[in-house]
Chain A
């Protein structure tokens, strides 16, 4: 972890209803970098993003650990008043389902103008001019007319473009994109991912993608963090990890990805299982083909590999 990191998360642990939903999650992000959180449903990918946006209610969960944002200091435990100054300005988020994230009662133009006026203090006309410019930038044709459209009048792809415009309206340093394309068709998916990458790159912003598609992560992100049941099992440079996964879970996840022309899949049986009945040690131990007796008892720490920028939590790596 370098001192130049934009975001450093250390031992982020989250308890909810007696279960440990996130277990000592550690990751860091450099300015301008794109990072993918990958794993299966229930692995805690979205929870990490929600926690780092300060959107978990204090009542639902108990959070431990640290998350430091460059220039801001410790994020966890900040009062809501300070969170609301960060959100939209330095941190912003693109949600999975733009159709339900946008307010159905207001035109999309008004929703964007509100963000601009509130966060940048622009006048009504200046905000409208900026909104028009943003709509054009994110590839909305006939932007003038679309400003006065309601969300339901737009296609899924257009709604997601509106979300991108709103998220980038105030030039945030860090953008979270939570499965931004899983509700879209593949050709539209490629358009939206490229749009997010191009726009964050030109602004020098960092981006954390939450993805379940490992192939898509390999195409879009510099680094990946692989999660299993709330634990980071492996993290590092995307190409290196996917080239030679060292954690048995990463290898298994990769082997399940279906590409055109795949002939045989050999998926593991069973499923993640309940959080209430997790082993004390490595949570993957029950399904791991390489499990040793100590795996279920002792949690393997996430250790940086001696060679290069990579970390691994496994007692018996590949």
Chain B
């Protein structure tokens, strides 16, 4: 659960992931200079707070430039936060990652570019055998049987093991990537846009597969997506990001039924819907994180921005049951 209001949880449960005011600043050359040694800080994440309960399904939603991918890298321990703490089972993620293969085994990843994530010269069986061998999941003699089992679990026939990704369709490649991620018997599955760029029927097949796997195996699912429809279909909880911040979190249905943050409301309205007229979109584009405004970073595009929004940077605050919002003037205060 994403940060419950104090007192609502009877028994405090250890979250799988906990981010406490995580900040990630990249040092980059100032725009326009090519040879300068001078660098400026680019805050890709700023004050991110998130709790992921065991067995939960959480959607991370935001547009390009919102910091989704950086957040993912922090969660996987590929980037250390510049400030703040990123914890996995109450221990720093970076430390866990260095401590041995247990973390990598428990937290599996499905990449956005599934085709690019699998060696084109390995057949599907060999690609799935790699994690099985690396983590010593089963004795070598049982590897072929386990490969067939994993392929079956994602709805592929056992003879797929002998094929190469170049000969598979987009939907099949995604299934292979999921089977490979499940090979290490993880308890957490992190998926980055795992169903984007597919035809609707293929996307629907994959969504049903992911939903079934999450339920049957009790996986904790962290799903990065830009599609609110996908988020609402697959995830019980949602975290909406804008420019390196989480601006709203809570149960997906409640947040999408009545978004509290004006940005969430705009995203909700921009999603295509049958026979509804195309609504007045949000003006402008996401600004550069190199020159952030002083107050709320959404104020420049916000239809509800008031004078104080340009001065005060709002924090993520409790907003009704299990919900949090970072806005000085949220929609429909409870």
Chain B residues lying within 8 Å of A40, measured Cβ to Cβ, are 199-202
B148 at the interface (CB under 8 A from A): no
Contact at A258–B207, with CB atoms within 8 Å? Answer: yes
Chain B residues lying within 8 Å of A242, measured Cβ to Cβ, are 274-275
How many B residues have CB within 8 A of the partner chain? 39
Query: How distant is B269 from chain A, measured CB to nearest CB, in Å?
Result: 8
Contact at A256–B273, with CB atoms within 8 Å? Answer: no
Contact at B273–A214, with CB atoms within 8 Å? Answer: no
B203 at the interface (CB under 8 A from A): yes
Query: How distant is B34 from chain A, measured CB to nearest CB, in Å?
Result: 13
A20-60 vs B, Cβ < 8 Å mask (1 yes, 0 no): 00000000000000000000110000000000000000000
Chain B residues lying within 8 Å of A142, measured Cβ to Cβ, are none
Chain B residue with Cβ nearest A257: B200
A265 at the interface (CB under 8 A from B): yes
Q: A186-B226, A265-B207 are contacts. A260–B274 as well, Cβ < 8 Å?
A: no
How many A residues have CB within 8 A of the partner chain? 42
Q: Which of B256-282 contact A (CB under 8 A)?
A: 256-257, 266-268, 270-279, 281-282
Q: A267-B204, A269-B205 are contacts. A219–B273 as well, Cβ < 8 Å?
A: yes
Contact at A259–B200, with CB atoms within 8 Å? Answer: no
Q: Which of B52-75 contact A (CB under 8 A)?
A: 63-64
Inter-chain CA distance A270–B205, complex, in Å, is 9
Q: Which of A208-238 contact B (CB under 8 A)?
A: 212-216, 218-220
Query: How distant is A143 from chain B, measured CB to nearest CB, in Å?
Result: 15
Query: How distant is A224 from chain B, measured CB to nearest CB, in Å?
Result: 12
Query: How distant is A151 from chain B, measured CB to nearest CB, in Å?
Result: 16
B154-187 vs A, Cβ < 8 Å mask (1 yes, 0 no): 0000000000000001010000000000000000
| Interface hit among B102-110, B229-237, B309-317 | B229-237
Query: How distant is B97 from chain A, measured CB to nearest CB, in Å?
Result: 31
Contact at A155–B285, with CB atoms within 8 Å? Answer: yes
Chain B residues lying within 8 Å of A191, measured Cβ to Cβ, are 281-282
Contact at A190–B277, with CB atoms within 8 Å? Answer: no
Contact at B226–A258, with CB atoms within 8 Å? Answer: no
Q: A258-B227, A261-B256, A262-B229 are contacts. A187–B200 as well, Cβ < 8 Å?
A: no
Inter-chain CA distance A239–B267, complex, in Å, is 24
Chain B: residues with CB nearer than 8 A to chain A?
63-64, 169, 171, 199-205, 207-208, 226-230, 232-233, 253, 256-257, 266-268, 270-279, 281-282, 285
- Interchain residue pairs A-B with the least CB separation, the first 10: A267-B204, A190-B281, A258-B229, A185-B63, A215-B272, A40-B199, A256-B200, A265-B204, A216-B272, A186-B270
Question: Could you give 8 example pairs across A and B, Cβ below 8 Å?
Answer: A157-B285, A158-B285, A186-B271, A214-B274, A258-B207, A265-B204, A265-B208, A267-B202
Query: Contacts A188-B63, A257-B200, A259-B274 given; 12 further ones with Cβ under 8 A?
Result: A40-B201, A40-B202, A155-B285, A157-B285, A185-B63, A185-B64, A186-B272, A215-B274, A258-B200, A258-B230, A265-B208, A271-B201
